[in-house]
Chains A and B, each alone.
Chain A
């Protein structure tokens, strides 16, 4: 289980690359290390792009709520679910102590 505090820094796992073909509604994350391939929807792709090399949970949450038209409580709940799933799938990691 991923504990998300306001200053928790999230980052893409090593070897994860993001690519999209927006005109065809195709959004992907790939691991160039393991070869794993993840098909995403546009919202999930936005979350991963925003996480990138590192972002604090608070900042991610506020950007998400600003970008998507969703009630704050519901938005935070949705985002937690998306982020937890990414963590479980090893697409993102916690970046602690500047690592």
Chain B
């Protein structure tokens, strides 16, 4: 099931920061973050449900971490609850795949509102992928993809783009097509958390433009794996194609919930705008100064402010924040 953006509100929910991997580009900073017990997680679900009903919107969720399967008992309990709440249309699980056994794949498949399982690959070979995600990770992830496909799960692969892997994207896409992967998403490396050390691996605007042009060509030719193109800056590649580019959902129709209940506009923009257990979602959504700044194009800086593509693109606020310290500054990777 796919929802139209205007019908949907999206929650990215990190139920843990714990992870069994140590990827070089991760947006986590490695500091421990307290976790909520299951009864608090269920309270959060009820608060989301209350807001969705009030807004007359359908909810979608990404349940993630850290590695969410480290808390598999709580994760499966939450999935059971979500299945019974009408206001949630579907959810995805974002995992590194390393803990997905046959039993877990079967358990995932038994949850009817699970739309896709997303894993991450950074390249078409162990040489590229494991440099970023750690030795053995490529083989583990491809094994997890095959295992989950065998159980009939829809699979999405996400790649974080940097100079470490951007030239390998065509080969990676060919691999994903061969493996029967359903969707492919690309996100830009943000120099935050552990990824701060990779600042010099950010693509230049021209490099990014070249990559996005080739990705668009791949997307239009592909008959199997679908490439998700609704990301800021993509709008410049094919301004007349409605499937390409989109306003960032931060401040628009999405929130990120952290393991301790803190709420961020986006996981990549870690500015706390409240806590879902102590502040109402209505209060956070309607009264956060950060969200109102993000919603207001007049507050954008640099070339973003007067851009002729504002209706479809306002850049990535997290990229602006971590490159300049100002989340309303221009997107430094924009070539427009």
Contact = CB atoms under 8 A, between A and B. Distances in A.
A15 to B, nearest CB: 8
B287 A30 contact: yes
A30 B296 contact: no
Q: Which among B50, B282, B286, B292 has the highest number of chain A CB atoms within 10 Å?
A: B286
A33 B280 contact: yes
B295 A30 contact: no
B323 to A, nearest CB: 25
Interface in A9-33: 17, 19, 21-24, 30-33
Interface residues of A, number: 14
B296 A17 contact: no
Interface string B248-285: 00000000000000000000000000000000101100
Interface residues of B, number: 14
Nearest to A24: B297
Contacts, number: 33
Contacts of B292: 19
Interface string B44-83: 0000001100110000000000000000000000000000
A30 B297 contact: no
Given A35-B54, A35-B55, A23 B282 contact: no
A21 B286 contact: no
B303 interface: no
Interface string A25-45: 000001111111100000000
A30 B280 CA distance: 13
Contacts of A17: 286-287
Interface in B128-181: none
Contact of A32 (B50, B283, B296, B297): B283
Contacts of A36: 54
B243 to A, nearest CB: 25
Chain A interface, >50% SS class: mixed
Contact of B282 (A19, A21, A31): A31
B33 to A, nearest CB: 26
Contacts of B297: 23-24
B286 A33 contact: no
A35 B296 contact: no
Nearest to A31: B282
Q: Which among A19, A22, A35 has the highest number of chain B CB atoms within 10 Å?
A: A35
Interface string B35-50: 0000000000000001
B298 interface: yes
A21 B296 contact: yes
A31 B54 CA distance: 12
Nearest to B296: A21
Given A32-B286, A35-B51, A35-B54, A21 B280 contact: no
The 10 closest A-B pairs by CB, nearest first: A30-B286, A35-B54, A32-B283, A35-B282, A23-B298, A32-B282, A17-B287, A21-B296, A32-B286, A19-B292
Given A21-B295, A30-B287, 9 more contacts: A17-B286, A21-B296, A21-B298, A23-B297, A24-B297, A32-B280, A32-B286, A33-B280, A35-B51
16 contacts: A17-B286, A19-B287, A21-B298, A23-B298, A24-B297, A30-B282, A30-B287, A31-B282, A32-B280, A32-B283, A32-B286, A33-B280, A33-B282, A34-B54, A35-B282, A36-B54
